[in-house]
Amino acid sequence: MIDSARANWAGNLTYGAAGVLTPRSLDEARELVTGAERVKALGSRHSFNDVADTPGLLLDLSGLDLPVTIDAAAATVTLGGAARYGDVVRQLDEAGFALENLASLPHITVAGSVATGTHGSGERHPGLAAAVSAVELLTADGSLHSFCRGDIDFAGVVVGVGALGVLTRLTLDLVPAFSVRQDVYDALPWPAALAHFDEIQAAGYSVSLFTNWARDVVDQVWLKNRVLRSASGGSLPGAEPPGSLFGAVPADGPRHPAHAAGVAAGNTTEQRGVPGPWYDRLPHFRLGFTPSVGAELQTEYFVPRAHAAAAFEALRGIGDRIAELLLVSEIRTVASDDRWLSPTTAGDRVALHFTWLPRQSEVEALLPLIEARLAPFAPRPHWGKLFHGEALDLAYPRLPAFRTLATRIDPTGKFRNAFLDRHVFAG
């Protein structure tokens, strides 16, 4: 039986930590960090690997009651280290603001998301960490440090993979609130997907392709586009969704990403072109419902966008092997950013995501084959999902700088764990 207090969201990992503690104040959190030999922050537990684990203490910051403060003049919001996107989006919208982008679900904490380089989709939008303009970090000696955009170490601290300390406050950039319509197309022939990939990416503010790699069509294309924020919700000039998309046809009803695997659309955000607020269209899944499928595992690799078509062909070459274990794969584009350990640092990337059946040993046996197929394209892994690691490009240009920073900020390795030792500090 899974000890739910100690398990991650997917239930595939029981944390080996000595305890999960919920400090009631920042001072208490500081005391716990100071007194602990090994410690880490825990977010909403949506990671699929041991990135958040520690042999010491896990700190759940949800008891800290830190306020959400909107600075309308600066167009920023400051929130606490336990805030989930879904906790703040309505308040932002009511104040006339939005976040530029969101991941597929609003259930995840901002701190945990940016720590692992979490992203949404859209060729013009970098990962969620790019919206962070300042953080407050509780470090190993119990002191609080502020890092702001422009500070020398700032770009190293934001996607910290939990290695530097506890993010107690984060400040995010805001944009004016906007509305979005979401249109789903069925059955895009693979030859058209390959030939028109760039045009398809350009057809939406956020674009997702769903496939199992084995069929001769991409099962679905989701286009999310901004619309006028008026009662009519009319399209912005030039942004009318096409009647068909390179052979794909408008879906005749709501779709779950894993529709082809028989999953119904009950937990998805509104589709069929119905306009709605950014926070209720950019994520695929609604807060208040189990996101995605629930009984699942996830993996994701990022390859340079220039290699998108070749990487798709490499995966289609083992499509039958992948499909046996797959609920659905999602293809997204993510713009480049400057965060040192971001999977999309220094160049636009295509994100190749896999939602697996919960058959971990079989999935883990398949991952080396997938990574070998992608190896010519220098794939990087999602820090929060399952990966093998040997054939991956973990040589981020700023990795040496990150290691130096981590050693300076956390000299005794209080925030280190087995995951970081294997993938960030090895070698």
Ligand X SMILES: Cc1cc2nc3c(=O)[nH]c(=O)nc-3n(C[C@H](O)[C@H](O)[C@H](O)COP(=O)(O)OP(=O)(O)OC[C@H]3O[C@@H](n4cnc5c(N)ncnc54)[C@H](O)[C@@H]3O)c2cc1C
Binding site for ligand X (CB under 6 A): 9, 40-47, 51-52, 61, 81, 103-105, 108-109, 111-113, 115-116, 118-119, 161-162, 166-167, 291-292, 298, 382, 384
CB 78 within 8 A of CB 69: yes
Residue 302 zone, left/alpha/beta (φ > 0; ψ -120 to 50; rest): beta
Residue with tokens 């690691």: 389
- Output the smallest distance, CB 376 to ligand X, in A: 23
Nearer to ligand X, 56 or 319 (CB): 56
Nearer to ligand X, 47 or 179 (CB): 47
CB 308 within 8 A of CB 350: yes
- Output the smallest distance, CB 126 to ligand X, in A: 12
- The span from the CA of 259 to the CA of 240, in Å, is 25
- Output the smallest distance, CB 320 to ligand X, in A: 25
Q: How many other CB atoms are found less than 10 A from the CB of residue 325?
A: 17
DSSP for 304-345 reads EGGGHHHHHHHHHTTHHHHHHHEEEEEEEEEE-B--TT-TTB
Sorted by sequence, the CB contacts under 8 Å of residue 364 that are 6+ apart come out as: 386, 388
Nearer to ligand X, 246 or 370 (CB): 370
- Output the smallest distance, CB 80 to ligand X, in A: 9
Nearer to ligand X, 47 or 268 (CB): 47
3-state SS assignment for residue 251: coil
- The span from the CA of 137 to the CA of 359, in Å, is 37
Nearer to ligand X, 122 or 384 (CB): 384
- Output the smallest distance, CB 164 to ligand X, in A: 8
AA letter at 95: A
- Output the smallest distance, CB 252 to ligand X, in A: 26
Nearer to ligand X, 43 or 277 (CB): 43
- Output the smallest distance, CB 417 to ligand X, in A: 8
3-state SS assignment for residue 186: strand
- The span from the CA of 64 to the CA of 286, in Å, is 25
Nearer to ligand X, 126 or 277 (CB): 126
